[in-house]
Homo-oligomer: A and B are copies of this chain.
Amino acid sequence: MATKNKLFLGLFVHSKALNELEYLHDTAVGVDKEGKITFVERDCAEKKARETVLPQLGWKDAEVEVVKAKEGQFFFPGFIDTHIHAPQYPNAGIFGNSTLLNWLDTYTFPLEVSLSDLAKARRVYTRVIHKTLSHGTTCAAYFATIDVPATNLLADLCHARGQRALIGRVCMDEPSTSPANYRDESAEASVAATRESIAHIRALDPTHTLIRPIITPRFAPTSTFPLLVQLGALAAETTLPIQTHLSENRAEIALVKTLFPPTVTGAADDSYAGVYDAAGLLTGRTVLAHAVHLTTGEAALVARRGAKVSHCPGSNTALGSGAARVRRLLDRGIVCGLGTDVSGGFSPSVLEAARAAVMVSRHVVFMGEEVAGEDREREKLSVEEVLFLATRGGAEVVGLEERVGKFAVGMEWDAQLVGLGVVGEDGEVVGDEDGGDVDVFGWETWPDRVAKWVYNGDDRNTKMVWVKGRLVHARK
C-alpha cells in the first residue's frame, strides 16, 4: 500500500496502560513500505534520525517521506470503532423519542432494506467511510445489511479507500420480528448468503491485510435458534470473528426470554448471554455490542468465554437503553472497546463516543441506591481510560491487538495527526490551521491539552490519517 518508507517526527501520544498515556516527545518513528513500524527512537530530532537511524536501516534519505508534527500537534493511534451500522448513517440524529424496538421498525429497517439499491448503497457507504476516516477511525467493525451485493460493495469501498474493516453481512430469519421484505428465507439461506459474502472478501483481500469478514447474527430476537446454532458452527469452522448485540434494552431482554426458553436452547437458564452461549456464539472472537443490563451471572459467563464488549454510550443514552457499568466489566477482566453504534448513536466519531463514555460513567455514579462503604466515584472513567478503550481496547475487541492500537516496533502504522488551535495574545487564533473548537492558551500541560481535545475536539483536529502506512485522509 505505502510506496515509500516514512519517517514521522515529533510528539507521539498513546496508551501505556488503561489509565496511563505515554508522551513520547522529540521522537522519530520509522514506517516501512508495508506500513510496519520499524523503529521508535526517543530524543531523536530530524538531524539525528537522518544521520544515524536511516543509514542503519539502509533507507536512502532522499527516498524517505518525512512527516513532522508541528509545534502543538501530536501523533495518536487511529481510533477503532467496534460497532457501527454503515447503512444507518443517513439516519444519524433521527430517532425522536423512540426506544430500541420501535426505533428498529420506524427508522432502521426501512432504511436498511432500501440499500439493496446499489447506487444508494454506494452513495451512503462512500459517505460513511469518508466521514469516519475524517474523524480518525482507521478500523471499523461494520454491520452491513442482509443484501449480499451491497455488503460486498461495502467491503470493496473500504478496501479501495484504505480503511481497515470487519464487514458483516447481517443475518436475520425470525418471521415474528423481522420485516417480511427484510428477512432471510431460512437459516440455511442465511448461512449460504453469509458464505457468499465471506468468499467475496477472501477473493478481495486473501490475507486479510485490511478487510476481513465477520459473522453477524443481528441479535437473538430476529434470529431463529437454528440460525444461531448454524452461525456458531460456521464461526467454528472458519475461525472468523462474530459480532452481535447483547442486552441493550429491557424490552429486548424480555423478548429474548419469551423467544428462547431453556426448552428451546437447552441452556441452564433463560439468560440472554446464555442463548448465544448455547449456540456456540460466545467465543474469544466475539464482539458483543452494548451489554448494558448484564446480570452478574451473564457477566461471569462472558468473562469466562473471553468474549469482548463494545461499549456504545452515545447510543445507549440516545435510545434510552440504559447506562452500561463499564467499570464492573473491566474489573472482571472483560475487554472493552468503544462503538459509535451509528445510527442508534447519532455521532460517527469515536472521539465523541469517548466523551460520551466519560459522561455516562458519571451518570452511573448517580444511579441506584448508595451502599455503605462502596466507592461510587470508582465508576468514573477518566480521559486516559476512554482513550485506551478507543484504541488499544478496541484493537483487542476486534482481535487486532498484535497489529494496531499503539506505537511500537512491529505494529502497523494506523495513526492520526492531531492539531489544536492556539490562542494568541490578542485573543485571536494564531496561524492558518483550523483548530476547530479547541483553544489552547499556551500554559496548559500536555495532559490538559489532550483533555481539551477529548472534550471539545472534532474532525477539524484530525489533520491527517494513515492506515497501514498509507495516507487515507488529509484535511483541506
Contacts and interface: CB of A to CB of B under 8 A. Distances in A.
13 contacts: A93-B448, A93-B453, A94-B444, A96-B383, A97-B382, A122-B427, A123-B427, A127-B427, A130-B428, A131-B439, A317-B363, A318-B359, A320-B366
A143 interface: no
Interface residues of A, number: 59
Interface stretch (A77-85, A178-186, A454-462): A454-462
A127 B424 CA distance: 9
Nearest to A451: B93
A348 B95 CA distance: 25
Interface of A: 89-90, 92-97, 119, 122-127, 130-131, 317-318, 320, 322-323, 346-349, 358-360, 362-363, 365-367, 377, 380, 382-383, 423-428, 437-439, 441, 443-444, 448, 451-456, 458-459
Contacts of A427: 122-127, 130
A341 to B, nearest CB: 13
A94 B125 contact: no
**9 closest A-B pairs by CB:** A126-B427, A93-B455, A346-B455, A93-B452, A127-B427, A363-B363, A320-B362, A123-B427, A90-B441
* Copies of this protein in the complex: 2
A323 B452 contact: no
A85 to B, nearest CB: 15
Given A123-B423, A318-B359, A427-B126, A323 B366 contact: yes
B366 A94 contact: no
Contacts of A428: 126-127, 130
Contact of A323 (B96, B126, B358, B363): B363
Given A323-B363, A362-B317, A126 B382 contact: no
B437 A458 contact: yes
A358 B98 CA distance: 13
Contacts of A93: 438, 448, 451-456
Contacts of A448: 93-94
B366 A322 contact: yes
B323 A127 contact: no
A441 B89 CA distance: 10
**Most B C-beta atoms less than 10 A away, residue of A96, A97, A448:** A97
A387 B279 CA distance: 47
Nearest to A459: B437
A348 B436 CA distance: 13
Nearest to A347: B456
A111 B448 CA distance: 14
A280 to B, nearest CB: 33
A147 B323 CA distance: 42
Contact of A320 (B94, B125, B380): B380
A334 B349 CA distance: 36
B359 A123 contact: no
A127 B423 contact: yes
Contacts of A377: 97, 320
A324 to B, nearest CB: 11
A97 B362 CA distance: 9
A474 to B, nearest CB: 15
Given A122-B427, A349-B437, 4 more contacts: A90-B444, A94-B451, A123-B423, A123-B425
